[in-house]
Amino acid sequence: MPYTRKDDKRYQEELKKKIIELKKKKNAVILVHNYQRPGVQDIADFLGDSLALAQAALNSKAKIIILCGVYFMAEIAKILNPEKKVLLPVKEAGCPASDMITVRELQARKKEIPDAGVVCYVNSSAATKAESDVCCTSANAIEVVRSLPNKRILFVPDKNLGLYVKSQVEDKQIITWRGVCPTHVRVSLEEVLEAKKRYPDAQLLAHPECEPKVLKEASFIGGTGGMVKYIKNSGTKRFIIGTEQGLIYRLKKENPDKEFYSPSNHFICADMKLTTLGWVAHSLELGLNEIKVPEDIRVKAKKSLDKMLKITYGK
Ligand code: 13P
């Protein structure tokens, strides 16, 4: 019998069952980013931020990694696991910030400041990573920048994360790039102030990809993994979540006694929302959208990632 809208819940449950069966049959692991749709979060073997996903990809014993997130995340899984098949359910799921730098531009800038250490945010292409000394995520950017011997640091491509690091690391000169996350910069100071007025007893948590004037209003600044930890350990009951709304599903599930609000109804990453259970099942069943990285770029990009993982995890 064909499905109608009324049957959607049943259809979603059947898809989940199908994915679990396929996953077992094919020896696959499902890694899911914190911004994904609720149904996709529900089928995760591992749910986390960019750093945790990279680590989970590295630790996985499965033959196939299906990465529910955006392109650069699946690319990282492939860079770290060249022998494994890495699938991205929807190949169009990109990251606009990662496209705001080209290798040619980066090479030209490096020539102008040859003494600078180059730190690249993981929201970047494999080619950009290959041209950088070390990668970082929002969870370890300050630690990574501090670990470099260089006095000057070129931080690419996310300007707001670079400016936040600059505010925290006073003994280095941080040179930022022009990239921004269109989702995080869309949230205005006015919206954040309005939310704080509406929920006066709530704490504002903000992702460092937000604009500096928004960050100034926050009780806590950190990536999605940092927010999960902060909330778990906090005695506060109400929070305004200054990042993509997908995280709120996980926060509600893990903290049923706490309340979460988004400062804006447009805090949504369209690329992250492209992945649905239907696409996960389709990609897993047919082995579609396999990630490939040219070997010379992969090897160089891996060095930048390995260095980051060593700084963070000590191995
Ligand atoms: P996190 O690493 O904090 O999850 O952020 C990922 C991201 O892409 C933010 O836009």
pLDDT in tens, 88-119: 999 999 999 999 999 999 999 999 999 999 99
How far, in Å, CA of 8 to CA of 6, rounded?
A: 6
51 CA: nearest ligand 1 atom: 2
Q: Give percent of the chain with pLDDT exceeding 70.
A: 98
Tell me the average pLDDT across 149-174: 98
How far, in Å, CA of 170 to CA of 205, rounded?
A: 23
Tell me the average pLDDT across 21-37: 98
Residue pLDDT, tens place only, 76-93: 999 999 999 999 999 999
Nearest protein Cα to ligand 1, atom 10: 181
User: Helix 71-80 and helix 295-313: axis angle, to 10°?
Assistant: 90
Distance 7 CA to ligand 1 centre (A): 33
Tell me the average pLDDT across 270-294: 97
Inter-residue contact 87 to 22 (CB < 8 Å): no
pLDDT exceeds 70 at position 304: yes
Distance 73 CA to ligand 1 centre (A): 10
Please state whether the peptide bond connecting residue 256 to the residue before it is cis, i.e. omega within 30 degrees of 0. no
Amino acid letter for position 49: D
Mutate to test the pocket of ligand 1, among 138, 185, 227, 247 (most ligand atoms within 8 A of CB): 138
Distance 33 CA to ligand 1 centre (A): 8
Q: How far is CA 276 from CA 88, 271, 302, in A?
A: 11, 11, 29
Query: What per-residue confidence (pLDDT) applies to 256?
Result: 98
pLDDT exceeds 90 at position 73: yes
Query: What per-residue confidence (pLDDT) applies to 157?
Result: 98
Query: What per-residue confidence (pLDDT) applies to 2?
Result: 57
How far, in Å, CA of 60 to CA of 94, rounded?
A: 24
Q: Which two tokens stand for residue 46?
A: 């591992």
Give just the sign of the alpha carbon dihedral 175, 181, 187, 188.
positive
Query: What per-residue confidence (pLDDT) applies to 110?
Result: 98
Residue pLDDT, tens place only, 115-144: 999 999 999 999 999 999 999 999 999 999
Amino acid letter for position 1: M
Amino acid letter for position 160: N
Pocket of ligand 1 (CB under 6 A): 34, 49-50, 123, 137-138, 181, 209, 223-224
Residue pLDDT, tens place only, 209-258: 999 999 999 999 999 999 999 999 999 999 999 999 999 999 999 999 99
Mutate to test the pocket of ligand 1, among 243, 249, 308 (most ligand atoms within 8 A of CB): 243
Amino acid letter for position 27: N
Tell me the average pLDDT across 11-23: 95
pLDDT exceeds 80 at position 6: no
Which range has the worst mean pLDDT, 7-21, 51-65, 243-257, 262-276? 7-21
Nearest protein Cα to ligand 1, atom 8: 123
226 CA: nearest ligand 1 atom: 3
Q: What is the DSSP string of the chain?
A: ----GGGHHHHHHHHHHHHHHHHHHHTEEEEEETTS-HHHHHT-SEEE-HHHHHHHHHH---SEEEEES-HHHHHHHHHH-TTSEEE-SSTT---GGGGS--HHHHHHHHHHSTT-EEEEESSS-HHHHHTSSEEE-TTTHHHHHHH---SEEEEESBHHHHHHHHHH-TTSEEEE-SB--HHHHTS-HHHHHHHHHHSTTPEEEE-TTS-HHHHTT-SEE--HHHHHHHHHH----EEEEES-THHHHHHHHH-TTSEEE-S-TT---TTGGG--HHHHHHHHHHT-SB----HHHHHHHHHHHHHHHHHHH--
Q: Which residue matches tokens 């490939």?
A: 292
Confidence of residue 10 (pLDDT cuts 50, 70, 90): confident
35 CA: nearest ligand 1 atom: 4
Tell me the average pLDDT across 164-184: 98
Query: What per-residue confidence (pLDDT) applies to 1?
Result: 55
Tell me the average pLDDT across 35-42: 97
Inter-residue contact 158 to 123 (CB < 8 Å): yes
Indicate the average pLDDT of the chain: 97
Mutate to test the pocket of ligand 1, among 35, 221, 241, 308 (most ligand atoms within 8 A of CB): 35
Nearest protein Cα to ligand 1, atom 6: 50
Distance 50 CA to ligand 1 centre (A): 6
Tell me the average pLDDT across 36-62: 97
